[in-house]
């Protein structure tokens, strides 16, 4: 049995690994990153790039705007990675994109130097880039995480390899614990170890402010803010959560170039975990330290749900993992007990489980805004002991059991959904 110190250290390491800054949607960014790594090993001009991606990467990368470009497409992402990608910046690999680089990348796509294919029977997060010129051929495999390069081959010879230790890195590790045990760690961990949480608050609030200011993307955050000023919607934590989260997603999905702090490797989920908790905090008399611990708790629960559902799936992660994490964290932050924390999770999953993921794009803002608002409402209901009955529909006796059921629904009940969605996209 793992002792408390080892549990805390492992949990902190797992959360920090996937709570990192990213510029742009992490699916096209993963393609750009793999392409940038390939270019680093290729000596000379790029003649051809072949990109194979999982169905999930394809779905989330087809329509979302690439930062600074006002255009979408994994081919363009691969070209930009080769032209100006900065490998050392990780998920901020596209930070140096400018008009000149965009022009070069577009020409590469126009000249059909980029070949994109979907590959079956891969992990949810999977990218293979093969880059070649007259002298060299480089193959890069990105797998399991959006910034994890598993293997690099130069002219058929392995020159880099980093295969993850499944026992130490698998999300299955989380399945042996409960919301209560996660809560206990969040309460006891040294606050000095959570300094990265403040960075996430600053980044994601800045994105929300830019989304409102520039009326980015769909413009939902800006529109809701305007409605609030006109008295058409309320001025309360519920609406503030919707506005902030929508505006951050507007900016990100609309091609904004400021960094977002991710959660579980997803920028939208980073917005969906952090900003609803911040919205409630700003309306109450709550200690800053409690906010920090609450957001850490939200990150853990987001990752906990995804350990069952998968890193990418046919279900909207903003609703059934990030929203759930935010709601449980808000409940704890406002003084809720373990029964009420569990109740907020049950309320969320009784409500939003049917929300499907049909790819990353500007309309993700609507789903994120809904999830953020319902996270606050589900928490308030649970704190007033208004909690859905257990063993009802797909709900289990406990929140943990319901989360496991959602995993079964996603993996078995919706195993063909992603393919159908992609077929519709391509029709």
Rg (CA), the chain: 21
Q: What is the pLDDT of residue 355?
A: 92
Q: What is the pLDDT of residue 163?
A: 76
Spatial contact of 322 and 371, defined as CB atoms under 8 Å apart: yes
- Residues 134 and 361: their CA atoms lie apart, in Å, by 37
Give tens-digit pLDDT for 130-155.
Answer: 999 999 999 999 999 999 999 999 99
Spatial contact of 368 and 234, defined as CB atoms under 8 Å apart: no
pLDDT band at residue 169 under the 50/70/90 scheme: low
Spatial contact of 328 and 339, defined as CB atoms under 8 Å apart: no
| Stronger pLDDT, 142 or 255, i.e. the higher one | 142
The mean pLDDT of 152-160, rounded to a whole number, is 96
Give tens-digit pLDDT for 19-60.
Answer: 999 999 999 999 999 999 999 999 889 999 999 999 999 999
Q: What is the pLDDT of residue 180?
A: 97
Give tens-digit pLDDT for 379-417.
Answer: 999 999 999 999 989 999 999 999 999 999 998 888 889
- Residues 81 and 397: their CA atoms lie apart, in Å, by 48
- Residues 123 and 80: their CA atoms lie apart, in Å, by 24
Q: What is the pLDDT of residue 166?
A: 54
Please say if the pLDDT value at position 299 is more than 70. yes
The mean pLDDT of 286-303, rounded to a whole number, is 97
Please say if the pLDDT value at position 427 is more than 90. no
119 contacts: CB under 8 Å, gap ≥ 6: 52, 53, 54, 126, 128
Q: What is the pLDDT of residue 363?
A: 92
Q: What is the pLDDT of residue 310?
A: 86
DSSP state of 260: E
Spatial contact of 310 and 411, defined as CB atoms under 8 Å apart: yes
Q: What is the pLDDT of residue 296?
A: 98
Q: Is 349 helix (H, G, I), strand (E, B) or coil?
A: helix
pTM of the model: 0.94
6 contacts: CB under 8 Å, gap ≥ 6: none
């Amino acid at each position: 049995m793992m002792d408390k110190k080892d549990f805390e250290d492992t949990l902190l390491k797992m959360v920090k690994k996937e709570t990192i800054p990213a510029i742009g949607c992490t699916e096209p960014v993963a393609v750009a990153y793999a392409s940038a790594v390939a270019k680093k090993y290729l000596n000379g001009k790029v003649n051809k790039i072949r990109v194979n991606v999982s169905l999930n990467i394809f779905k989330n990368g087809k329509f979302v705007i690439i930062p600074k470009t006002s255009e979408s497409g994994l081919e363009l992402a691969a070209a930009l990675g080769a032209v100006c990608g900065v490998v050392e910046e990780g998920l901020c690999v596209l930070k140096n994109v400018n008009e000149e680089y965009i022009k070069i990348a577009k020409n590469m796509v126009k000249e059909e130097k980029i070949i994109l294919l979907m590959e079956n029977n891969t992990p949810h997060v999977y990218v293979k880039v093969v880059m070649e010129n007259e002298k060299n051929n480089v193959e890069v495999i990105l797998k399991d995480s959006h910034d994890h390069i598993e293997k690099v081959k130069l002219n058929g010879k392995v020159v880099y390899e980093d295969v993850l230790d499944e026992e130490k890195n698998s999300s299955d590790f989380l399945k042996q614990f409960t919301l209560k045990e996660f809560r206990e760690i969040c309460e006891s961990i040294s606050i000095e170890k959570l300094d990265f949480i403040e960075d996430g608050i600053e980044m994601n609030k800045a994105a929300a402010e830019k989304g409102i200011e520039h009326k980015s993307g769909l413009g939902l955050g800006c529109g809701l803010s305007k409605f609030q000023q006109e008295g058409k919607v309320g001025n309360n934590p519920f609406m503030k959560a919707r506005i902030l989260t929508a505006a951050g997603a507007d900016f990100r999905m609309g091609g904004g170039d400021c960094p977002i702090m991710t959660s579980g490797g997803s920028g939208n989920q980073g917005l969906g975990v952090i900003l609803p908790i911040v919205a409630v905090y700003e309306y109450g008399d709550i200690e800053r330290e409690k906010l920090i611990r609450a957001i850490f708790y939200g990150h853990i629960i987001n990752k906990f749900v995804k350990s069952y559902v998968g890193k990418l799936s046919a279900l909207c992660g903003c609703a059934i993992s990030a929203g759930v994490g935010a709601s449980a964290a808000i409940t704890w932050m406002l003084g809720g007990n373990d029964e009420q924390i569990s109740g907020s999770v049950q309320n969320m999953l009784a409500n939003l489980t049917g929300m499907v993921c049909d790819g990353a794009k500007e309309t993700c803002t609507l789903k994120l805004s809904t999830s953020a608002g319902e996270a606050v409402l589900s928490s308030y209901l649970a704190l007033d002991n208004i909690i859905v009955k257990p063993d009802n529909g797909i709900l289990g006796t406990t929140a943990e059991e319901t989360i496991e059921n959602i995993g079964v629904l996603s993996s078995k009940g919706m195993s063909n959904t992603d393919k159908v969605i992609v077929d519709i996209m391509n029709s």
